[in-house]
Amino acid sequence: MSKTLIVVTDSPFPSLDPAKEALARLDAEVVQAKSPSAEDILAVARDADGILVTYAKLTGDLLRQCKKLKVIGRFGLGVDNIDTATAKELGIVVTYVPDYCLHEVSDHAAALMLTLARKIPIANARVQSGHWEMPVVVPLRRFNTQTVGLIGFGGIPRNVAPKMQAFGFEVIANDPFLPKEVFEKANVESVSLDELYARADLISVHAPLLPATRGLVNDDAFAKMKDGVMIVNTARGPLIDEAALVRALDSGKVAAAGLDVVTTEPLPKDSPLLGRPNVVLTPHTGFYSVEALLELETKCAKDVASVLAGEKPVYPVKM
């Protein structure tokens, strides 16, 4: 009897040993594709029982050619790189790990908001260029006079809220899919998106990327915001219309932006977001810590092992 075949399309991990350990009860053969291209994935995955994927695109056409595939495990939070409709049609279970980096991403979002609110990047740039002067950061406002608006109130923003409240910010949030009790428990006011735009001094984006949310923060949204608003995105790049953001930065409507994700990654070298002291860019590192990677790799592989052993996964994707 042939071994269970697990294909890893691409991996952010220094070693696949934790995943292999989690898969050990299957006596599985773990094979990594040469690259995340469809051709290289199919070269090793046509007879795979399971696939572990990070950023590679698993299209419907690719999935249809994997005749034995029973489960896909996503090393991450979202599944927008997987054709889940086709997976459902083919009876392929899709799993993910929605809770592995709650601390890291919420810390990153809070850190970006704090550094923008204190204008640290602008001050640092001036000092580094030989200018020791306070007027470059004028005006600054006390944190306890300002409001943070969270777009989405899932696990990550629910961890952001107390961190920003600890610094004195009022926190409001918009999430039409949650009951009021969730907000009340967090001492966060539930508001409409338009009200959030009108009241927030800092906005942090945490919505899932869906057809309905692509380009959610656009010209119309910026027009409803306060003059001088600051915005942070640690969720998915396409949630913000980048051309609209650039226009808002140019006009001064947006005073500063902190982006860990962008529409095209890596960021193009000619991006108009580059070279701006009021724009802080990090290369999609919000999820990372040594502990988070280990948790991610282990939980994802364990769920794939569970499915292939005929058990229910802990983190199935609802399709």
Active-site positions?
Answer: 236, 265, 284
Residues 36, 55: Cα–Cα separation, whole Å: 8
In single-letter form, the type of residue at position 180 comes to: K
Residues 201, 147: Cα–Cα separation, whole Å: 5
Phi/psi for 185 (5° steps) reads -60, -35
Is residue 231 within 8 Å of residue 253, measured between CB atoms? no
Residues 70, 66: Cα–Cα separation, whole Å: 9
How would you label 191-230 residue by residue, b for 16+ Cβ within 10 Å and e otherwise? Answer: bebeebbebbbbbbbbbbbeeebebbbbeebbeebbeebb
- CA distances to 83, 113, 198 from 60, rounded to whole Å, are 6, 39, 41
- Cβ-based neighbour number of residue 161 at 10 Å: 23
